[in-house]
Amino acid sequence: MDPATDTGELDRVTENIEPEFTINAGKLLVAGGSARLLDSAGNVLGTTPVTQNDVNRGTANVAPGLLDDGSYTFIAQVLDALGNVVGSTPVVVTVVTDRDGVMPSVELAANSGDFNNDGIADWLQNNVAQLPVKSYTDFMLGKNAPSTSFGAVIGGRPDAQSPGGVMLDESVQLVNVRIDPLPATTVPQGYATLTDLVNFTVEAQVNGELSDLDPTREGLQTQIVLDLPSGVRSNAYLKYNANTQSWVDFTNPAALSGAVDGAALIDTNGDGLIDRIVITLTDGGPGDEDGIVNGMIVDPGLLAFREPEATPVFSVLLASGDRYYSTDVSEVVKMAKGVGNVFEGVRFDSLSTADGGEQIHAYRNFITGDWYFGADGEPMPYACYELRPDAGFQAASNGGGPGDDFHLLLDRQGKTQLVSLADAAQLGLAGKGYRDLGAVFNTTTTSAFQFDAEGYLVSNADNAQVRQLVGALAGNYRSTSDANFIEAVESHYLQQVDLVGLPRMSSATAADLNALFGTGFVA
């Protein structure tokens, strides 16, 4: 190998991805002839014409073109002016670049080969790896993948003043950076995967030690930044452990500072999509697949969407014929106690993302007590609504789900109704001065329940408080249709919701109640 392109000792090992080879051919070289390199299959990789200066020196230089990491055996040939091979010999070279596992040709295929714009080619940086990250399919295409699929794995911490917004950790050596297909092990219930598995290992650079991100914490911490080419609507980062075939939700917004382990999901451009993941890891900690304190941190993970837990939206049919919604149990208890008011149960189902479900937030007007449910960015019916951050459910856009479109209706007093057109007609809302402002979401009500007093008591017969309640009811009421009987059961149910969540619910009759509890109710 030409010493000018051998970056180390004259040992046939180089980090130069475009080396030249000097062919010492002596008198075999003739002006008008040529020298060339062939691969093991006989393909010509590079050819150079022999000049008189080459003849005088007895040497000719020839280059094989860009080489990726690996060991190569070429055949060097010298040809005379007629194209006849007059001499040949094998040529061996090993190319070793930044050891991150991503080939130089791939790192050069997008973003001018410099993802973080620090003026240094990514294939020369041990702590920066640029590669197709959108999918395993793109990753396997390598340098032929669409440029829009390229992102980066970077060893360092977020820093707005540094190139690419990341201050590089000069101690980090990225190893085995790749995208893997999803493993066969099922992700936890309630999660949907959005990317394939991003796999990488962090270790110290040769003859060095990993720097400790937070010396005040036990163990050695490091931080890795994953940059995506385009945003993903994600709210979770799942880590996979191949040894235990298990998943864990590693999401933790506090990990951005490095004070705790976890993955902080960042929306850098404010479009509501995640395009950066900042991962804080401890050697041997729960985020390290090998679980050993050995100076090597193995970290496979992916972006996912965690279905939000739905808050029940309770419905009370008022004596006026209007329907009152609330997620506040104390409010529902108060409204249900009104004369002629009927507690109906839980109104809206929460759709999965597979059915088009997106988060519908709960808002309450602190002046009127009115509740509204709508997606991010939707205008409120009028001013003075406040977000209730821990309440809501998932629904699809208008016409985009498997259920009914629910319309926003508003009257002159500012009272709102969220009802289907069929409900609006049944309740006679148009005749009560309500005007339709259009559909705001789509969902089903097949899983939401209509409250059944007998059914609640029967399905919770193993509950000591329910048995005590039935005894008290039997001493005060004869009919299960008595409004006061129903109201007493409703109040008990709503207290249980506040304490332990939604209890079991099924349909039953007075006869079922009598058979189970030995009571004598009539319908």
Q: pLDDT by residue (tens digit) across 61-77? A: 999 999 999 999 999 99
Q: Are 105 and 90 in contact (CB under 8 A)?
A: no
How far, in Å, CA of 142 to CA of 119, rounded?
23
How far, in Å, CA of 294 to CA of 303, rounded?
27
In this prediction, residue 337 carries a pLDDT of 79
Tell me the CA distances in angstroms from 322 to 51, 75, 429, one per residue in order.
97, 88, 8
Q: Is the pLDDT of residue 135 over 70?
A: yes
What mean pLDDT do residues 318-336 have? 86
Architecture of the CATH domain 3-95: Sandwich (2.60)
In this prediction, residue 520 carries a pLDDT of 87
pLDDT band at 505 (very low <50, low <70, confident <90, very high): low
Q: Is the pLDDT of residue 121 over 70?
A: yes
Side chain identity at 327, as an amino acid letter?
A: T
Between 107 and 523, the more confident residue is 107
Percent of the chain with pLDDT over 90: 60
Lowest mean pLDDT among 276-285, 437-446, 455-464: 455-464
Q: Is the pLDDT of residue 504 over 70?
A: no
DSSP state of 522: B
Tell me the CA distances in angstroms from 452 to 211, 456, 481, 490, 519, one per residue in order.
63, 6, 11, 9, 18
In this prediction, residue 302 carries a pLDDT of 96
For residue 190, what are its two tokens? Answer: 């309630």
Q: What's the N-to-C CA distance of the chain in angstroms? A: 99
Average of per-residue pLDDT values in the chain? 90
The pTM (predicted TM-score) of the whole model is 0.67
In this prediction, residue 424 carries a pLDDT of 93
Phi, psi torsion values for 49, nearest 5 degrees: -70, 145
pLDDT band at 162 (very low <50, low <70, confident <90, very high): very high
pLDDT band at 383 (very low <50, low <70, confident <90, very high): confident
Between 519 and 238, the more confident residue is 238
Q: Is the pLDDT of residue 90 over 70?
A: yes
List helix spans (H) across 315-373: 329-336
pLDDT band at 508 (very low <50, low <70, confident <90, very high): confident
Give the SS3 label for residue 334: helix
For residue 413, what are its two tokens? Answer: 């007093």
Percent of the chain with pLDDT over 70: 96
Side chain identity at 283, as an amino acid letter?
A: D
In this prediction, residue 10 carries a pLDDT of 47
What mean pLDDT do residues 395-400 have? 91
In this prediction, residue 7 carries a pLDDT of 59
Instruction: Indicate the pairing of strand 85-95 with strand 13-14.
Output: parallel
In this prediction, residue 207 carries a pLDDT of 85
Q: Are 202 and 245 in contact (CB under 8 A)?
A: no
What mean pLDDT do residues 149-158 have? 97
Give the CB-side neighbour count of residue 215, counting CA atoms within 13 A. 2
How far, in Å, CA of 476 to CA of 472, rounded?
7
pLDDT band at 395 (very low <50, low <70, confident <90, very high): very high
For residue 312, what are its two tokens? Answer: 């029940």
Q: Are 227 and 275 in contact (CB under 8 A)?
A: yes
Between 468 and 463, the more confident residue is 468
Residue 84, burial from CB neighbour count under 10 angstroms (0-12, 13-18, 19+): exposed
Residues in CB range of 218: below 8 A, 6 or more apart: none
CATH 2.60.40.10 domain extents, the chain? 3-95
Give the SS3 label for residue 477: coil
In this prediction, residue 499 carries a pLDDT of 47
Q: Is the pLDDT of residue 184 over 60?
A: yes
pLDDT band at 215 (very low <50, low <70, confident <90, very high): very high
Task: Please choose, from the candidates 276, 284, 328, the residue with its C-alpha nearest in 3D space to the C-alpha of residue 303.
Answer: 276
